[in-house]
Structure 1
Amino acid sequence: MKQAPFIAVEGPIGAGKTTLSSLLAEELNLPIIKEIVEENPFIDRFYQNMDDWSFQLEMFFLCNRYKQLEDTIGQYIAKGKPVISDYHIYKNLIFSERTLKGINRDKYRQIYHILTDDLPRPDIIIYIKADLDTLLSRIAKRSRSFEEGIDKGYLQQLIEDYDVAMASLAVQEPSTVIVTIDGNTIDFVENRLQFEEISAKVKELIQ
């Protein structure tokens, strides 16, 4: 691969997506697209009552990410410039398949495909894979109030859903390179050498 105009960092809640994408953006001198999380007006209510607020939460995320990708990533890709994002639009399906049910899930799937089927897909996905204890530890460190008391069962299911999703993307998007990082043993924040190994791998792929 001579150039990767679009790099996405993915993983379940607390994996370190934004941290790693920010470090790589600085190291590789790339523009970065960060998803909006805390600005979602439904997020507090969602964690208090997932059944009542999941559709509103997921629709906000979908519309916001769609607008970001359409406006910002499209500008860079159109100019042949690399860009890095701390999410893949596919994450909307990962979460909505777990949080939505019945008619709401069916409606959401339809809207998702209408909005995203013609959006650019990443050339590289950096998938941070981590177990429950690692995620809980990182979630606690960042101290987001709405994540306090996050349901462990929900988080464990997301871990499994992400593994299935990455396998599915490998089939659906065969030209995409998926780089899996073991988040349990690799600390790209505290261990500079481990971060440089990740960075070197990405540089190799985009040269």
Structure 2
Amino acid sequence: MSELRYIAIEGVIGAGKSSLAQLLADKLKASLILEEFEENPFLQKFYDDRKRYAFQTQMFFLINRYKQQQQLKQQDLFASITVSDYIFDKDKIFAYLNLSKEELKLYEAIFPLLERDIPKPDLVIFLQASIDRLIFNIKKRGRSFEKNLTRQYLVELSEAYNNFFFKYSNTPLLIVNTSDIDFVNNENDFNELYSHIFREDRGFIEYFNPKLRG
């Protein structure tokens, strides 16, 4: 466990990133960093009209994530454990999915300048889930600004995430299939996942596919 001082959790909207981050932070008595999506004034408009508001939404998230990561950089990651519900690199997933060619040119000129000195996690946990499970989770939490999220957008986003992490090699990676488990409400599911995260023999890239208990 001692080598994991900075853990970041990723996944499509509704996969359970923030919930798992909170659970891990509580158990580890760790510092918690949550993405400040509610502060983005363009997000609701983006879900209503992706094409029109993609660039404003993207740039707000990029700058906000950068500021948050700079605060993380100033912390002593060796003195305490930190858990985050996103990685800075994920910004590119949304950019390439949503921005026009002209907008991407500007984005690609800015992103590398910000990326250079961002701290890297000791482990990234990528939560995969079926589209039906994502929709169920999104409806269950009932955020007003997510009411216009379409199934098609979730399909596109899920494919983009899968492609991104298929090629990902920046840090150790644990890919978890969450479609048939409930680590939020089922303590056994959480404990099984927790044990796998801190396995001493965990490989650099590893898949965890727990099955639904009867």
TM-score, normalising length: structure 2: 0.89
Structure 2: state its 5+ residue gaps: 201-214
Residue in 2 aligned with 1:195?
190
1:62 aligns with 2:57: no
* TM norm structure 1: 0.91
Task: State the shift of 1:102 in Å.
Answer: 1.2
Secondary structure of 2:76's partner?
helix
- 1:167 corresponds to which letter in structure 2? F
Kept after mapping to 2: 8 A contact 1:31/1:83: yes
* Whole-angstrom CA distance in 2 between matches of 1:181 and 1:187: 12
- The 5-angstrom pairing of residues 57-136 of structure 1 reads 57-77=57-77, 79-136=78-135
Unpaired runs of 5+ in structure 1? none
Within 1, Cα distance between the matches of 2:197 and 2:122? 11
User: Of 172, 180, 201, which aligns to 2:175?
Assistant: 180
Given that 2:73 and 2:118 are in contact with CA atoms closer than 8 Å, whether structure 1 keeps it comes out as no
Identity, in percent, stands at 37
Deviation, 1:71, is 1.0
Higher helix residue share: 1
- Give, as a single letter, the amino acid of the residue that structure 2 aligns with 1:128: L
Conserved? CA contact 1:45–1:53, under 8 Å:
yes
| 8 Å CA contact 1:15, 1:138 repeated in 2 | yes
Q: d(CA) in 2 for partners of 1:25 and 1:203?
A: 14
Distance in 1 separating the partners of 2:76 and 2:105: 33
Instruction: Identify the structure with bigger relative contact order (alpha carbons < 8 Å, sequence gap 6+).
Output: 1
With 9-18 and 160-169 compared, the bigger mean Cα shift is at: 160-169
Which residue does the alignment assign to 1:49? 49
1:35-60 CA-to-partner distances (Å, cap 9, x unmatched) read: 10111111111111111111110111
Amino acid at match of 2:127: I
- Which position in structure 2 is the counterpart of 1:28? 28
Task: Give the Cα–Cα distance (whole angstroms) in 2 for the partners of residues 76 and 156 of structure 1.
Answer: 38
Q: Does 1:151 align with 2:146?
A: no
Distance 2:28 2:191 in 1: 11
